[in-house]
Structure formats: structure tokens, C-alpha cells
Amino acid sequence: MPPFSPELFLSTLALIGAVIVISALLSGFIEKSGLPQVAVFLGLGAAIGPAGLHLVNVDLNSPILRVVGTLSLVLVLFTDAVSLNLAEVRKQRLLSFLVLVPGTLLSACLIALFAWLLLGLSLAGALILGAALASTDPVMLRTLLVKPGVDPAVRQALRLEGGMNDAVLLPMVLVGILLASQGHSPAPGDWARLGLDILILSPGAGTIVGLAGVGMLDLVRKRIGVRRDYESIYSLGIAFAAYAAAESVHGSGFLAAFAAGVTISALDVELCDCFLEYGETTAEMALMFTFVLLGMSVIWKGLGIIGTMTLVFVAAVFIARPMAFIPALLPAKLSWKNRLLIAWFGPRALSSLLLVLLPVFAGLPGAGYLFTVCCLVVLFSVVLHGLSPSILIKSRKIAPASEIEESHPSPAPEFEHAKSERAVTDDHQQCSLTGNDCSSAEPVLLKPTDLEYISIAEIKSLQAKPGQVVIIDARTERTYTESEEVIPGAYRLPPDDAVRSATNFNFPKTAILAVLCA
């Protein structure tokens, strides 16, 4: 074990702090400018790396890259799984099938074929590179999905793909690693072992950890109570525990993390929204930190292999996705414009790099070249896919609602039946005024001036004075779409775009905003 280095410790700690501070301060600017978020952090890595201030240097053999890369891939897979709306997947099962099977798999096979023909890679290397470069990046995709003006059909298809395609592509990478490590055709026992790992051990370990985690949380929550903010941290613990459990039985910890996330999502417990409120942000910080590490020097090595054949291969990678997705989506009821948008928006970034890092960590010969080629494609993708949303997708202006007339107060915020037979009518049901969750709050009557929670009874009393209260429905998109309950007279503010949406409604500045965020 290398000796402890105070300088390296301080540099690493400063780097983590810089990533968190810069990501927070630049979040609004990046959103408004349309610049790719990952490009900013790649630039930060270059600025503090050997080509800049030379504060820190990271190469493929650095232990910190291995640790951060592993944790990031675990969080990517777990976040994708937890954020899956399984009801939407079942409802859109045809679209899900088309995106994952003919779309993603055919795209990976085409890229592998191009890698074999143009770069002269072995079958194993081509398979690994094809699977890695068929993966869409969740960070870049998330930036696109929250952009106003994206057609709901495009958003739905890309959300389904982003949530599930890594679970399909990861086994392809594991198969490629097995082929490369053997140096010859693997024996039947090797294939059986890999099949056992992929189909039974890994998902089994993840499912068991997920069930145990949810069961313990539910038991403690009912008997003692658990702070909601700690439930987010709890979900991260489940992800890492699932990874460790699978690795301890020689399975794939990454598949186990995905299985644990699917288990939580399938049970439809409160833990899902808790993770999406805090855990997803934590996961994104880890991804940004990984980009900074790669941006110091590692990713720029891709520019060093630019040549005729590598540039042709890069072009082939960008062509492979439309070649696969346009015919794959023909059975779906989509316009040609939407098919073309879905076929184009397959950004390659961190998820591709994390997948191709697996053979590097396994010490496979030639894995460094695979990673370098992947870096070259990712650099092109960050520019092309990062800038194209602002060019191809025009933001739709939200028509300002008519100003709230003081003589026409909002209707009482009671829930009405839609299709469900249940409705919330308890006068003690709480609504948050600050954005904090109120689904598990105790029924306590508070004064309107407390600016924490307000009860339905208090809202009714305020409505006796016109213009005093405005009802806002700010539930998460998942909760809002799945719910069969509506609030008459409420203004819908998506939490991902609340500020911009709110400015279009011209709310009275003196009014109390009663926000339902459960």
C-alpha cells in the first residue's frame, strides 16, 4: 500500500469541493446557455490537470479513478432503475421493447461491426466497444428531457431507453471480457458460469438486498419513524450493499445494483421519491467528479489517435444509431420527425466511458486502446449532442395565465375523484409552503405566518379574503402522472421548471403560495 500523502489528500478534497461549488454556481447559467454540462467539467479537469495548473494528475492506473469510476457506474445503474416508472413501461411495452431490443441491441451490433471492419479489433474488443458506445448518457440525456419544447413522445422514448439500456448492454460487455480473457473459445463451463452470474447470482443478490432494505425501512418507519432526508442516504446504502453482496458471491455488482433499484421501484415505496429528491443529485455529483478526473488528461488522449480510419469510425458510430432506431421504431405510432429526433439523440459520455473502463480494470490486453477510441467518440458526442438540442428543439413559450382576479379566489383545494374511489378530504392534510415534502407530516394545524406547513382548513379560511392564497400542484412528474387525484383551481408547476413556469402566471406578490409537493 502506498504511503499516505497529505498533499494528495488535500488536492483530492479541494477537487471534490470545487466540483460541488462550481456545479451549483453554474447550474443556472448552463441551463440558460444550452452549453453541455459535461463540457464545463471536462474543461475544469483540463484546467487543474497537467496541461493547466498541474495540481492533480490522474491516469488509467490511478486507484482514485478506479474507485470513483466503480461507484459512479453503481450509482448510474441504481438511479436508472429507481427512476423507472414501471407502470409507464407496462403501458408503453411496445415502445419499450422496440427501444431496447431492436434499437439498442442492433445499434450495439452495428457499432461492433464497424469497429471490427474499420479498426481491425478482435471480436471481443469490438463487442465491448459496440456495447459501450451504444449506451446513452444519463446526465446529458437528463438535460435534454427537462428542456421545454421536447415532444412528449420523444421524452418518453428516451426516458425509457436511458433507464434500461445499460442493463441490456452491461451483459454484452461482460461477455466480451470473458472472450478476451480466455484468449480462445471459452469452455462450456465458462459460459455456464457467466450465465449463472448474469441471470441468477447478480440479480438475485440485488433483489434480496432490495427486499431486505425496503422491509427494514418499512418496519422502522412504522414503529419509530425515519427522517425523510435520511431515507435518501439509506437508498444509497442499498445500492452499495447490493454491489458488495453480488461481488462477494463472484457475481456482477453492477447488475445487482440495477436489480436492487428495480425492486425498490416495483414496490412503489416512498423511498423512490426520497432518492430522486436527494440521492439523484448526489449521484450526479459523483458523475461530474468522474468527468473532472477524466478531463485532467485521460480523455484528451482520444485526440492523439485521430486519423482517417478513426474519424471514419466516429462517423460510423453516429450513423449506426439512426440505422438501427429508424427501422426499429416503425411499428410505434410516432411521427417521422419524432423518429428522427429519437434516432439522433443518443449522447455518449460518462456511461460509455464507465462501461469501457471495466475491461481496463480487469487488466485485459488492448483495453487501453478501446478506452482511447471511446474517448474520441465521447468528445465528438459532447459537442454534437450537447449543442444540438438548442438548435433542433425550439422552446415552447408557456402562455401566461390571466392574472388572478382578487374578486375570484381559487376554488377550495380539495381533491376530487378522477378514476380512483379515494379522495383526500381530511382538513388536516398538509401542504408545503417551502418545497419540503409533506406526505408524511403529522396532522398539525399551523398559523399561515409559520411559512412551513399550512392545512386545508387554513387555506379555506384564507380564501375568504380574495387574493390571499394561490394553490400550486408541484408534485413530481412521476407522482403527478400516476395519480388519479386532481386539485380544482390549482396551478401546475413542474418541480424541474418551477421558477420559469411560475413567472408566467403573474401571481400576486402578497399572496401565500400553498404548494402540494407530496
pLDDT digits (tens, 9 = 90+) for 74-86: 988 888 888 777 7
Structural domain boundaries enclosing 506: 430-516
- What is residue 452's predicted lDDT score, i.e. its pLDDT? 53
Identify the CA nearest to 292 among candidates 52, 76, 6.
52
Same-domain check for residues 87 and 176? yes
Q: Is 513 helix (H, G, I), strand (E, B) or coil?
A: strand
* Tens digits of residue pLDDT in 288-335: 888 888 888 889 989 999 999 999 999 999 999 999 999 999 998 888
* Tens digits of residue pLDDT in 210-249: 999 989 988 888 888 877 667 777 888 999 999 999 999 8
- What is residue 454's predicted lDDT score, i.e. its pLDDT? 67
How many structural domains compose the chain? Answer: 2
Task: State yes or no: pLDDT of 50 exceeds 50.
Answer: yes
* Tens digits of residue pLDDT in 475-508: 766 666 656 677 777 888 776 666 667 777 777 7
Same-domain check for residues 303 and 436? no
- What is residue 356's predicted lDDT score, i.e. its pLDDT? 93
Same-domain check for residues 353 and 460? no
Residue 17: exposed, middle, or buried by beta-carbon count in 10 A (0-12, 13-18, 19+)? Answer: exposed
**How much of the chain, in percent, has pLDDT values that exceed 70?**
77
Same-domain check for residues 109 and 195? yes
Q: 64 lies in a domain?
A: yes
Average pLDDT, the chain: 78
| CA 280 vs CA 139, 142, 252, 335, 418: distances in Å | 11, 11, 22, 32, 31
Q: 45 lies in a domain?
A: no
Same-domain check for residues 371 and 435? no
- Cα of 437 vs its chain's centroid, Å: 21
Q: Comparing 2-16, 302-316, 366-380, 416-430, which segment has the lowest mean pLDDT?
A: 416-430
- What is residue 294's predicted lDDT score, i.e. its pLDDT? 87
Q: 225 lies in a domain?
A: no
Same-domain check for residues 280 and 358? yes
- What number of other Cβ atoms are within 10 A of residue 31's Cβ? 15
Average pLDDT over residues 164-178: 89
Task: State yes or no: pLDDT of 440 exceeds 60.
Answer: no
Out of 366, 392, 418, a domain closes at: 392
Same-domain check for residues 161 and 289? yes
- pLDDT band of residue 278 (cuts 50, 70, 90) is low
Q: 448 lies in a domain?
A: yes
15-19, 139-143, 144-148, 380-384, range with greatest mean pLDDT:
380-384
Residue 414 near residue 166 (C-beta atoms within 8 A): no
Q: 339 lies in a domain?
A: yes
- pLDDT band of residue 4 (cuts 50, 70, 90) is low
Residue 280 near residue 232 (C-beta atoms within 8 A): no
Task: State yes or no: pLDDT of 443 exceeds 50.
Answer: no
CATH number at residue 511: 3.40.250
Out of 392, 416, 440, a domain closes at: 392
Same-domain check for residues 345 and 459? no
Mark out the alpha helices in 297-442 (DSSP H runs): 308-328, 336-344, 350-361, 367-392
- What is residue 199's predicted lDDT score, i.e. its pLDDT? 85
Same-domain check for residues 342 and 480? no
- What is residue 399's predicted lDDT score, i.e. its pLDDT? 41
Q: 382 lies in a domain?
A: yes
Q: Comparing 146-155, 229-238, 301-310, 346-355, which segment has the lowest mean pLDDT?
A: 146-155
Q: 259 lies in a domain?
A: no
* Tens digits of residue pLDDT in 387-438: 887 777 765 444 443 443 333 334 433 333 333 333 333 333 334 333 334 4
Same-domain check for residues 307 and 169? yes
Out of 333, 367, 392, a domain closes at: 392
**How much of the chain, in percent, has pLDDT values that exceed 90?**
26
- What is residue 471's predicted lDDT score, i.e. its pLDDT? 82
Same-domain check for residues 69 and 186? yes
Measured distance CA(206)–CA(182) in Å, rounded: 28
Same-domain check for residues 373 and 464? no
Q: 178 lies in a domain?
A: yes
